[in-house]
């Protein structure tokens, strides 16, 4: 089929490359000519394992190219996927729909024949219905232009796998024709047994925000338990394992620590909350305020633990921060808990040295006052305190004996619950783990 993908950020670039790789003819559009140039040259402008290979293969097949022209896109494709960003507004928690509205406004005047427009961006419930009416009103083809919604659930770091083998496909449609076209787009994925949920527009929009709200709630639940564990001398790791054995609960997304960040969960949570208030159902989502507050407290608890561990003051101390990305295998620092903690320690007068295997450049643009180094050794040498804030595998594999030779003082905070604390304590370290408290050096 001939498809277009409008917006080539994280979601769109992945969708375009994967759809072409599956055999469709794809044109990708972005208003940023630098992104278009990079993608046409096989360069992915962000860190995503496996995506450059898929992109290059798709370009080499001749089935994929990128443009800045809406006229080209409308001429070429029969199905248009809308993949632009819906960031948080500057002045509230609500989603900023300027990119979605802009893309529809620019595409519509070029739609002169029957076409299906498929939204993939995460939007407040009710947006799809409004856009459907706007398309009919402003496209020359009028009622022959249909809108469907097809939310994506891809995780950074697993974007390709989540696109070609998702847990499920969800499509919100208003006609059999739209359903059949989307079944044809995803034929090979459906043939592999991926479940398909066919529903209406508002349900499909809500599925995405509900899924993200549930995941965020699960993480904040275990982090609330972590606070109780710290207050009572209990161990949140064992607690998560024990409750996770119950299949109704499950162990995944119960990793206590510094909480969630990134370009999706935090802003989607706030946008969902804001939308519920707008439609008069605010009290149904009051609890999401607590989910957000628990998550923010993970950051303040980590800073407080750093200050306590250093005897009440970090001013003038050298603090090694391991990790700046919001999660490992990513260079994304949007709403990153790690970078927030680093910035707060800088504000408290610490001399902060950051090492992240992929996110140093992005982090330096946001927190330029920190010092950035290219390896673990340079970060920890002479440190008065080490903080493990993003669980990159090389940090998880840190050797307490070797690291102990490099630091000035053997103090570490494991904010992701990944280090074997008894081993660290037995090598003379004071180790604080979120949700498990502080373990003093074990002698003898
Ligand atoms: C998330 C959703 O998983 C995905 O379905 C949606 O489409 C976009 O948002 P992503 O932002 O890539 O994907 O990150 P994810 O892997 O879900 O992790 C989110 C954050 O939660 C990270 O900061 C991670 O460190 C944190 N997290 C995750 C925890 O603190 N504990 C956990 O148990 C799991």
pLDDT in tens, 68-105: 999 999 999 999 999 999 999 999 999 999 999 999 99
The answer on pLDDT for 444 being more than 90 is: no
Q: Residue 388 to residues 98, 392, 394: CA-CA distances in angstroms?
A: 37, 9, 11
Please state the rounded mean pLDDT for residues 122-137. Answer: 97
Count other C-beta atoms under 10 Å from residue 354's C-beta: 26
Per-residue pLDDT of 231-261, as tens digits, reads 999 999 999 999 999 999 999 999 999 999 9
Q: Ligand 1 centre from 219 Cα, in Å?
A: 9
Residue 276 contacts residue 214 (beta carbons within 8 Å): no
Per-residue pLDDT of 323-339, as tens digits, reads 999 999 999 999 999 99
Q: Ligand 1 centre from 69 Cα, in Å?
A: 34
- Taking CA atoms only, the protein residue closest to ligand 1 atom 28 is 253
In CATH, what number is assigned to the domain containing residue 252? 1.10.1040.10
Shared-domain flag, residues 261 and 377: no
Shared-domain flag, residues 11 and 129: yes
Shared-domain flag, residues 87 and 214: no
Shared-domain flag, residues 289 and 305: no
User: What's the whole-model pTM score?
Assistant: 0.96
Is residue 309 one of the residues assigned to a domain? yes
Shared-domain flag, residues 186 and 231: no
Shared-domain flag, residues 11 and 49: yes
Distance from C-alpha of 179 to C-alpha of 201, rounded to nearest angstrom: 12
For 95: left if phi > 0, alpha if psi spans -120 to 50, otherwise beta; the answer is: beta
Is residue 334 one of the residues assigned to a domain? yes
**CA 424, 427, 432 angle in degrees (round to 5)?**
35
Shared-domain flag, residues 165 and 250: no
How high is the mean pLDDT of the chain?
97
298 is catalytic: no
pLDDT at 443: 77
Domain boundary among 166, 199, 232: 199
- Report residue 170 CA to chain centroid gap: 20
Q: For the sheet containing 351-355, what is the strand order? A: 371-372, 351-355, 318-322, 385-388, 411-414, 430-433, 437-439
Per-residue pLDDT of 357-374, as tens digits, reads 999 999 999 999 999 999
Is residue 444 one of the residues assigned to a domain? no
Q: Count CA atoms within 13 Å of residue 13 on its CB side.
A: 28
Nearest to 361 by CA among 47, 25, 62, 63: 47
Domain boundary among 234, 259, 294: 294
pLDDT at 56: 98
Shared-domain flag, residues 109 and 227: no
Per-residue pLDDT of 263-309, as tens digits, reads 999 999 999 999 999 999 999 999 999 999 999 999 999 999 999 99
Q: Which residues line ligand 1 (CB under 6 A)?
A: 153-156, 212, 215, 219, 253-255, 257, 259-262, 264-265, 326-327
Domain hosting residue 345, numbered range: 297-439
Counting the structural domains of the chain, the total is 3
Q: Ligand 1 centre from 281 Cα, in Å?
A: 26
Per-residue pLDDT of 2-61, as tens digits, reads 999 999 999 999 999 999 999 999 999 999 999 999 999 999 999 999 999 999 999 999
Distance from C-alpha of 147 to C-alpha of 174, rounded to nearest angstrom: 8
In CATH, what number is assigned to the domain containing residue 126? 3.40.50.720
Shared-domain flag, residues 114 and 169: yes
């Amino acid at each position: 089929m001939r498809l277009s993908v409008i917006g080539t950020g994280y979601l769109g670039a992945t969708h375009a490359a994967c759809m072409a790789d599956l055999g469709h003819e794809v044109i990708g559009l972005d208003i940023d000519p630098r992104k278009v140039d990079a993608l046409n040259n096989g360069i992915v402008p962000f860190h995503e394992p496996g995506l450059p290979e898929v992109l290059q293969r798709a370009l080499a097949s001749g089935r994929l190219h990128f443009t800045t022209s809406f006229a080209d896109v409308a001429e070429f494709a029969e199905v248009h996927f809308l993949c632009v960003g819906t960031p948080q507004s500057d002045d509230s928690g609500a989603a900023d729909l300027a990119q979605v509205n802009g893309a529809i406004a620019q595409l519509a005047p070029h739609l002169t024949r029957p076409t299906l427009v498929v939204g993939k961006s995460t939007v407040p419930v009710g947006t799809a219905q409004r856009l459907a009416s706007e398309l009919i009103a402003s496209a020359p083809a009028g009622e022959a232009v249909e809108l469907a919604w097809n939310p994506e659930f891809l995780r950074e770091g697993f974007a390709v796998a989540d696109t070609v083998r998702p847990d499920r496909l969800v499509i919100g449609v208003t006609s059999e024709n739209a359903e059949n076209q989307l079944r044809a787009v995803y034929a090979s994925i459906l043939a592999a047994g991926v479940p398909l949920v066919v529903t209406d527009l508002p349900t499909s929009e809500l599925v995405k925000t509900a899924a993200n709200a549930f995941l965020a709630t699960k993480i904040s639940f275990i982090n609330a338990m972590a606070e109780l564990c710290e207050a009572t001398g209990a161990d949140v790791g064992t607690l998560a394992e024990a409750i996770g054995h119950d299949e109704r609960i499950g162990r995944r997304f119960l990793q206590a620590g510094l909480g969630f960040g990134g370009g999706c969960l935090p802003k989607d949570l706030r946008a969902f909350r804001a939308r519920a208030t707008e439609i008069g159902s605010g009290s149904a989502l009051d609890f999401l305020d607590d989910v957000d507050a628990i998550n923010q407290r993970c950051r303040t608890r980590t800073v407080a633990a750093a200050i306590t561990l250093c005897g009440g003051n970090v001013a003038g101390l050298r603090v090694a921060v391991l990790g700046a990305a919001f999660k490992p295998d990513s260079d994304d620092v949007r709403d990153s808990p790690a970078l927030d903690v680093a910035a707060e320690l800088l504000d408290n007068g610490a001399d902060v040295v950051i090492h992240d295997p992929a996110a140093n450049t992005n982090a330096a643009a946001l927190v330029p006052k920190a010092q950035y180094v290219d390896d673990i050794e340079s970060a920890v040498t002479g440190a008065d305190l080490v903080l493990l804030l993003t669980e990159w595998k090389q940090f998880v594999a840190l050797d307490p004996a070797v690291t102990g030779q490099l630091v000035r003082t053997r103090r570490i905070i494991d904010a992701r619950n990944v280090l074997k604390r008894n081993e660290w304590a037995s090598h003379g370290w004071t180790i604080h783990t979120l949700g498990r408290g502080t373990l003093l050096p074990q002698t003898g």
